[in-house]
Chain A
Amino acid sequence: MSSTRPRLATAWLGGCSGCHMSFLDLDERLFDLAAAADVLFSPVVDAKTIPPEIDITLIEGAVANEDNLELLKHLRERSRFLIAFGDCAVTGNVTALRNLAGGPMLVLARSYRDESNLQPQIPTELPVIPPLVDRVVPIHQVVQVDFHMPGCPPHPDLIWYCVTELLAGRVPNLTGKWKFG
């Protein structure tokens, strides 16, 4: 592995993984990506630790729990260029609809107690479950975001355009290429 190759990372916060599915829908272009860059950290890469230096990071999902918050902050510190990848990261989207039900305890009660008819209980005592943040927010409300790529999910062609432009050292021009939803 050459140290001069661009280093990529992707992360999955509070989202449905649909943006990563769209990323995988790059299909054979994934070979071109693997030839042009190293994908060091991602839900589709078996890496347990965050690499110290990343050139481009794609963040899917909104900030919904403490785990999301910590991962986002770590990745921001280590990334040269950080992209809000898809509507949940950009706007909060469906993930943020939770806010309409109220704070974390109200959300958990609604999901695990009120709507349950088999052993209703709120799963807050297990230490492996990260606590929910008070309010789901898009990632640019927590860290500096260098580029927004909306879409639910962003089309693979849009992902490919943005990634290849960034690898070529250019900021993508989204005019006429994007939409919300």
Chain B
Amino acid sequence: MSVRTFTLNDQLITAAAGQSILAAAREHGIAIPTLCELEGLSTVGACRLCLVEVAGSQRLLPACTTEVQEGMTVVSESPRLKHYRQTILELFLAERNHVCAVCVSNNHCELQNRAVEQGVTHVRFDYLMPTLPVDMSHDRFGVDHNRCILCTRCVRVCDEVEGAHTWDIMGRGFQARVITDMAEPWGDSTSCTSCGKCVQVCPTGALFDKRATAGGMVKQPSFVKVLQHARARKESQ
């Protein structure tokens, strides 16, 4: 296995060739905030929370999709990054209706946790407060578009792990929505296997078990990593 050595926050770090800055940082106990990334799924750089400074690049680069290069110099904590991360979280909170107090995921929400960690105690932007639907047509699960941050974890887990590809994204920009099949009610989906993987990986209260009440939705997204690891082992035998 060929190795790459790079500098992260003044610390010399050795990574495997092809490894992302995020994965290498994690292996060395350096936390970089994320939302859309989930170990075991492909990386898409959708949420932009993991942006880092790379010497020689004018632009900030997402740590989850940027491969480590030999000799590169990376900074993952700076006032500039803090400013961008706070702004990103404020835009998430302003774009749809994230009302923690009455959300199924209150106290168990990755967006709520990131806001606390990054010190976003209030939102400087006007709340858009769009009128968005809640689809409760599925027997067991619901989707509340008010809480969706378009991280696409549901799309990826359904495609990459379950193999059903029931979920996808429709529309562009802030009008984008997660959809099931051809934008049909979830309950009418013929491709959905009702496995619930999408619900477990959703970082907010957008996908939930219909039995959950406020604060009652505790998710277990770590199964993806375990499942992918087990499959890789089986294939290598």
Q: Indicate if the CB atoms of A152 and B101 lie closer than 8 Å.
A: yes
CB pair A96 B127 closer than 8 Å: yes
Q: Would you call B106 and A148 a contact (CB within 8 A)?
A: no
Question: Could you mark each residue 132-144 of chain A with 1 if its beta carbon is under 8 Å from any beta carbon of chain B, else 0?
Answer: 0000011011000
Q: Is the Cβ of A100 less than 8 Å from the Cβ of B131?
A: yes
Q: Say yes or no: A181 contacts B127, CB within 8 Å.
A: no
For A90, what are the chain B residues with a Cβ–Cβ distance below 8 Å? 121-122
Chain A: how many interface residues by the 8 Å CB criterion? 26
List B contacts of A84 (CB < 8 A): 122
How many Å lie between the Cα of A90 and that of B124 in the bound state?
10
- Whether A91 and B97, one on each chain, are in contact in the complex, defined by CB atoms closer than 8 angstroms, is no
Query: Is A181 within 8 A of B97, CB to CB?
Result: no
B170 within 8 A of A: no
Annotate A41-84 by CB proximity to B: 1 below 8 A, 0 otherwise. Answer: 00000000000000000000000000000000000000000001
Query: Complex: how many Å from CA A178 to CA B116?
Result: 7
Asked if A181 and B101 sit within 8 Å, CB to CB, the answer is yes
Residue of B nearest to A181 (CB): B100
Chain B residues contacting A138 (CB-CB under 8 Å) are 122-123, 127
Most chain B CB inside 10 Å of its own CB: which residue of A138, A150, A179:
A179
B217 to chain A, nearest CB (A): 13
CB distance from B124 to the nearest CB of A (A): 8
CA gap between A100 and B107 in the complex, in Å: 24
Cβ-defined contact, B121 with A178, below 8 A: yes
Identify the B interface with A (CB < 8 A). Answer: 93, 97, 99-103, 106-107, 112, 115-116, 119, 121-123, 126-127, 129, 131, 215
Beyond the given pairs A99-B127, A150-B121, A174-B121, 20 more chain A to chain B contacts, judged by CB atoms under 8 angstroms and listed by A's residue number, are A84-B122, A87-B100, A96-B127, A97-B97, A99-B129, A100-B97, A100-B129, A138-B122, A138-B123, A145-B122, A148-B121, A152-B101, A178-B116, A179-B100, A180-B100, A180-B101, A180-B112, A180-B116, A181-B100, A181-B103
